[in-house]
Structure formats: structure tokens, C-alpha cells
Amino acid sequence: MQAITRPAARRTPAPALLAAALAGTLMAGGCLVGPNYRPPQANVPTAWTGVSEAAVSQPSVATAQPAQLAQWWRVFNDPNLTALVEEALKVNLDLQLAEARLRQARAAQGVAAGGLWPAVNASALYRRSQPSGAPAAARAQPLYQAGLDAAWELDLFGGISRSVEAADADVEAAQENLRDVQVSLIAEIALNYVQLRSFQQQIVIAQDNLRAQKHTADLTRQRLGAGFVSALDVANAEAQVATTQSQIPILQSAARQSIYALSILLARFPAELAPDLSQPGPVPVAPALVPVGLPSDLLRRRPDIRQAEAQLHAATAQIGVATADFFPRFSLTGSLGWENPRLSALTDHASRFWSYGPAASWPIFQGGSIISNVRVREAIRDQTLLAYQKTVLTALQEVENALVAFAREQEHRQALSDAVAANRRALDLALQLYTQGQTDFLNVLNAQRSLYASEEAWVQSNQNVAANFVALYKALGGGWEMEPSPPPALAATPRDESATPQAPALADATPAPPRPLTDGRTPPVSPRRPGSR
């Protein structure tokens, strides 16, 4: 019988195995386990309520035109404020901390991406040993060893790719956090600066009223000496002077604290800005009409919304990382080395050893830890989605709050401006009648109190209008596109301490109220409304 012979089995070369494994990896590159991220669909109103209501009830203070938010603080036309903002963008510590977190996220991204590449390690060994049972006089045998080990995990199911995807999203979240810190920083500087100028104006008004009240007290003493009034009028006049004078130190303390707050924001010692900012200046004047865009623009502009969306993306990718643990891991491993008892012969061909081949591992039983980890990641994803939705709603609320506050405060300021003018006329008449002996001093006292209260409220309303403007542009996410330039030197505007601060010469500026009346001055006319003739 003739024997049947079979052809000898042909061995596949190692390079072919490696090429096949690489091809399989590339073909499976699109096989990523876990859910694919899809941006959330946020339902937002088609228009701002504050804009539509204002357009019906009164001349609008906001329009749906695209907002110019990159350098919104320049609308105030205040060189000192601009200089403070530009310097803070270079030196603020919170901003530097956010930048460090961004560098950390980028470094972590590099760590995650490193898992896609082979890992190669070098090793060296020297050892002396003596086998068991050898005579005591036998010499210990030396051993020299050196080599390279390599391993490459094939990302067949996308666990490593999902880790890289999550790291990319973390970088994006850190970038948006940096922008959010910048938005908050600029708004904080503007608010502190507005408060500083408001306190300084209140100090000037208090000092002007104090001088007028002292003049009235002197007049009362003269009339007491002539026997026209009683000592009660003098006591009331002196009490009014003391009351007004007692409020000035409180305002001075608040103004100095605002300077300290600005110094800290610029990473300076608390009193370092005092020489530049101690001189009184006007409260920055906000424009009467501002463009705010549409609610849908907010989703693309607000850094905190974009940060929440990036965090949702990272949490979704982490589900894929956890899901990949259900599947086997495949690796290509290899080693090359030399081993010899003599160091001089270590590189000889006979001393060389090598090995290579694939490796696989598959978790069969982990006590439910893998599925529990997936559920943990899914719960985190759900939390970040809810946080995103809340962030959107909060952003919409902040814009609507700022819109209604900005509009109503302008009405409030105009009414206070009329009240200041009326109180000045009342004080002038009360002083004339009192000098002629036709009224008692109580009317003069009440008129002085009303004038001072209305002037102080008018200044505070100016502060509120500017602060609401700042809050509006912060809520819109303005300021993070700013490219800082070298800050110019702060220049204090020289002014007469006895003069009442005047508003900048802008077309939409509200005129400053007239100075307090002194004896013999002509009563001022009522301030005109913006746009009136």
C-alpha cells in the first residue's frame, strides 16, 4: 500500500503575524464600546423677556442685536478701569491657578494618549549566586544580564481610545474653566471699581452738605445772638452737622476697602493701589441702550455652559472605558537580551536570547465589580447632564435678572434726579423764609435732611445702574476673548476736592445733580432727562 504523504505545514513568519495583528487593530479601531457622545439639546426661549416687556412698556434699554462682548468694559470710557482689567489679566492669581489646571489637564491627556503606543523598557542586572549543595569552598558564580522588553496592548475594543476621548474633553473643560474665571475676574474688578467711585462721590456729597449745614448753623447762632431764635434751633443745627460728619469716616473706610480688594485682584499688597485710586472720580456711566443678542447665543458664549457640556462628554466617554473591561485584552510582547557570566563576553552572539509572541487576558469573574463600575459611570453621566441643564437655566435667569434690574434702576435714577432738584428748591425756599423770620428752623432742618438723603440715593442709584450693566455682561459671558496687552500706568484725574464729581461727557450720560445750595446762590433748575429738550 502506498503511503499517503501530506505537505509539510508552512510556518508563518513572525513579521506576517505582526502585520496581521496590526491590520486587525486598524479594522477594529472603529469598534468602540460604550455610548457615543451626542451634544445635549437645550430648549431655550426665542427672545429675552426683559427685552420684549421693555419694548412694550417703555423705551427699550436692550435690543436683540448681537452683543459686542469681547471688551465690554471699554464702553465706560474709563482709562483707569481699562488699565486695571488689562493688568489683572496678566497677574491675577486665580487666573494663574486656572492656567495651571489647564496645563495639568493637557499633561493628563498625554498620559492617556501614551497607552496607544508600545511600551519599551531597558534593564540591566548583575548577580552573584551559589547553588545549593555546592562545597563551601566553591566560588560564587557571577551573572551579567542586559536587555530590552516591549509590550503593545492592541486597543481592539476602544478602551484606551475612550480614555483619550475623556482626556480631550477634560482639556476642553479646563479651557472653559479658565475662560469662566476670566469672565468673573473682569466683572469683579469692574464692580469693585464702581463701588470705589460711588463711595468717593458719596464722600464728596457728604462734605458739600456738611459745609452747607455748618453755614446754616453759623447763621442760626447769629440769629440767636440777635434774639430772633431760641437755643433749640442752634442745638438742632449742630446735631445735624455732627450727624453728617459722623457718616464720612464710614464712607472713607468703605472706599479704602474697595481699593484693597482691587489690589488683591491684581496680586498686589492691599495698599499698593491707594496712591493711584484715592483721588475721587466719577462713577462709570453705562450706556442707556445695550445689545444682548438672543438666548440661543448664550449656549455658545457662556464658558460655564461650555464647561458643563465638556464634562458631560468626558463622563460619557468614561462609560466606554468601564465597558471595555468586559472584553479580553490582547498584547504583543517581545524581549531581547544578553546574559553571560563574564562581562567581556556579554555581547557575544552566544550570549543573546530573545522571545516574542501575542498575549491575552480576559476577566472571567470579578465579583460584579465590572458591571458595578459601569453603573457608577452611568450615574456620573446622568449627574453631569442634570448639572448641564441646571447651568443653562441659571444662566438664563441671571440674564433676565440683570435685564430687569438694569431697566428698572434707570427709571429709579431718573426719579431720584427729579427729587434732588425738587429738594434743592425746597431748601432754598426754606432758608429764605427762615432768614426772613417767616418759618421755623424745623422746615430748614427737614429740607437739609431730604436733600442729603436724595443726593446719596442718587449716587447709589448711579452705582446700581453701572453694577447691573456689569452683571448683565457677565451673565452674557463677555470678556473671555480679550487678548491682554501691557497695562498702561494708572493715572489719577486731578480734581478740586470741593467740587462735586461730574459724569463723563457721553451722549447717554445722566447729568450730575447740582451742588448743594449755599446762602446767596441762585436755585438750580431741574436736571433734564436724557434726550429731552
Within 8 A by CB and 6+ apart from 514, the residues are 420, 421, 424, 524, 527
Record the cell numbers describing residue 8, joined without a space: 509539510
CB 339 within 8 A of CB 317: no
> What pLDDT, on the 0 to 100 scale, is given for residue 174?
95
In this prediction, residue 206 carries a pLDDT of: 94
Burial of 231 from C-beta contacts in 10 A (0-12 / 13-18 / 19+): exposed
Domains along the sequence of the chain with CATH? 28-127+159-327+370-475 (1.20.1600.10)
The predicted structure's pLDDT at residue 28: 44
Distance, CA of 501 to CA of 503 (rounded, Å) = 7
Q: In a structure prediction context, what are the per-residue pLDDT tens digits for the chain, which is 533 residues long?
A: 344 333 444 444 444 444 454 445 444 445 788 899 999 988 888 888 877 655 444 556 777 788 778 889 999 999 999 999 999 999 999 999 999 999 999 999 999 999 889 999 999 988 887 777 666 666 778 888 899 999 998 988 989 999 999 999 999 999 999 999 999 999 999 999 999 999 999 999 999 999 999 998 998 898 888 888 889 989 989 999 999 999 999 999 999 999 999 999 999 999 999 999 999 999 999 888 888 888 888 888 899 999 999 999 999 999 999 999 999 999 999 999 888 888 888 878 888 888 999 999 898 888 899 999 999 999 999 999 999 999 999 999 999 999 999 989 999 999 999 999 999 999 999 999 988 888 888 899 999 999 999 999 999 999 999 999 999 999 999 888 754 444 444 433 333 333 333 333 333 333 444 444 433 333 333 333 333 33
CA distance 64 to 46: 10
- For 479-505, letters b (16+ CB in 10 Å) and e give bbebeeeebeeeeeeeeeeeebbeeee
Sheet (strand 352-361) strand order = 119-129, 141-154, 329-340, 352-361
Residue type, 532: S
Round to whole Å and give the CA distance between 286 and 328: 64
Distances (CA, A) of 113 to 37, 106, 217, 241, 304: 19, 11, 80, 73, 26
pLDDT at 133: 65
Tell the residue number behind the cell numbers 455658545, with chain if given.
300
Query: CA of 477: how far to CAs of 301, 395, 404, in Å?
Result: 6, 9, 18
pLDDT value at residue 9: 41
Distances (CA, A) of 517 to 110, 414, 415, 430: 71, 21, 20, 11
- pLDDT, tens digit, 9 for 90 and up, residues 245-254: 999 999 999 9
Burial of residue 132 (CB within 10 Å: 0-12, 13-18, 19+) is: exposed
Pairing mode of beta strands 290-291, 62-63: parallel
Answer for the pair 238, 217: CB distance below 8 angstroms, yes or no. yes
pTM exceeding 0.85:
no
Give pLDDT, residue 94.
95
CA atoms within 13 A on the CB side of 482: 28
Contact assessment for residue 276 and residue 490, using Cβ atoms and an 8 Å cutoff: yes
Name the residue among 284, 287, 285, 528 with its Cα closest to residue 414.
Answer: 528
User: Could you give the CA distance from residue 37 to residue 465 in angstroms, rounded to a whole number?
Assistant: 43
Give the residue carrying C-alpha cell 499517503.
Answer: 4
